[in-house]
Amino acid sequence: MGLFEETCKKITPKDTSIGEAVQAVWDRETPYGSYGKLVDMVKQYAMVTRQVSPTIPKRCMIIAAADHGVAEMGVSAYPIDVTVGMTQNYLIPKGAGANALGNYCGTDMEVVDVGIKADMTWVPGLRHNKIRMGTRNFLKEPAMTKEECIKAMEVGIALVNEKVAEGYNVFLVGEMGIANTTASAVMTAKFAGITAEQATGRGTNISDERLKVKQKVVHDALVKYADIDQNDGLGILHSVGGLEFACITGIILGAAAAHAMVIIDGFNTTACALVAHTMAPASMDYVMASHLSAEKAHVQALKTLGLEAYVNLGLCLGEASGGSIQMGMLDLAIRMYQELEGGHQA
């Protein structure tokens, strides 16, 4: 049995008895409902990490980067060279939005190359786990083989296992890869049972003409892979997904197996959660939504998972931007709880 299968078998539901104990503290010290969703944040974090008295999380932002063969269809406003530029930007000048927001929420950062279509060995600090030089164009053939997909998931699982051993218990996930919202649109349409038009947004703020191209690509992909069942997460992921999506799916599964939390970001990382949900439904106990993406199908993707965004800021950055903001709110909620709990014990 490989790491992927072993990890899925280890995933168990959250401990609801801990949630009841946490709720009792809130109820004892404040009028019921006064702090709204801040209560839910603390309860979820406590239940999944098995902490009756939750501590401030040790957090790690993981950005997975890879290129998409479908980019050759002209679905993005930018060339795939941007993936190289943005990835090095996280680690050399450290001037990306992810760096600024990561500093805001006090997170360490790991950036992993699982499939950038370029030599990235010159970038210091980058984790070099390239499975292949980008995915294939899924309109011509499956984006990855099943074996490549599983290898990419196991990159994410192994990284989580390493970080959990170092004491990390919350992971913020982000992605970088030109044309990745096209892949997410196909995946979301498959999982949520919606049309290409309903699933396809503007991604990198593309023009009306390019949006029509993108919608047709998504439509044609749905026709090509119509025989894949919506519950076949591995089949959907390897056929139309991305290597960075597989890595993030592995992060979600690995975190759930290790009783750690994952804060997903926007449309792309929610597509990864849709995959993880089919593989291990209980893994969703360990996933916290953050913001509502500007991508129009994101709300439907979250609804399919039974999740709800905490904030709506109109962000379309990716890069764990919404997760960073959510991490700040989770910190606040836990500190409030600690004050209430400490006051009661005193």
- Per-residue pLDDT tens digits for 257-299: 999 999 999 999 999 999 999 999 999 999 999 999 989 899 9
pLDDT band at 346 (very low <50, low <70, confident <90, very high): very low
Mean pLDDT along residues 6-33:
91
Mean pLDDT along residues 81-88:
97
pLDDT of residue 333: 96
What share of the chain in percent tops pLDDT 90? 89
- Is the pLDDT reported for residue 29 higher than 80? no
pLDDT band at 303 (very low <50, low <70, confident <90, very high): very high
72 is catalytic: no
Report the alpha-carbon distance of residue 267 to residue 261 in Å, rounded.
18
pLDDT band at 342 (very low <50, low <70, confident <90, very high): confident
- Is the pLDDT reported for residue 212 higher than 60? yes
- Is the pLDDT reported for residue 92 higher than 60? yes
What share of the chain in percent tops pLDDT 70? 98
- Is the pLDDT reported for residue 209 higher than 60? yes
Mean pLDDT along residues 188-213:
93
User: Where do the domains of the chain lie, and which CATH numbers do they carry?
Assistant: 56-331 (3.40.50.10210)
Q: What is the mean pLDDT of the chain?
A: 95
User: b/e per residue, 165-194, with b = 16+ CB within 10 A?
Assistant: eeebbbbbbbbbbbbbbbbbbbbbbbbbeb
User: Which residue bears the tokens 């957090």?
Assistant: 59
Give the active site residue among 162, 319, 339, 341: 319
Contacting residues for 150 by C-beta, under 8 A, at least 6 apart: 2, 4, 234, 246
166: region left, alpha or beta (phi > 0 left; psi from -120 to 50 alpha) = alpha
Asked whether the whole model's pTM tops 0.85, one would answer yes
Q: Are strands 108-115 and 170-176 parallel, antiparallel or unpaired?
A: unpaired
pLDDT band at 344 (very low <50, low <70, confident <90, very high): low
Mean pLDDT along residues 27-32:
76
pLDDT of residue 200: 96
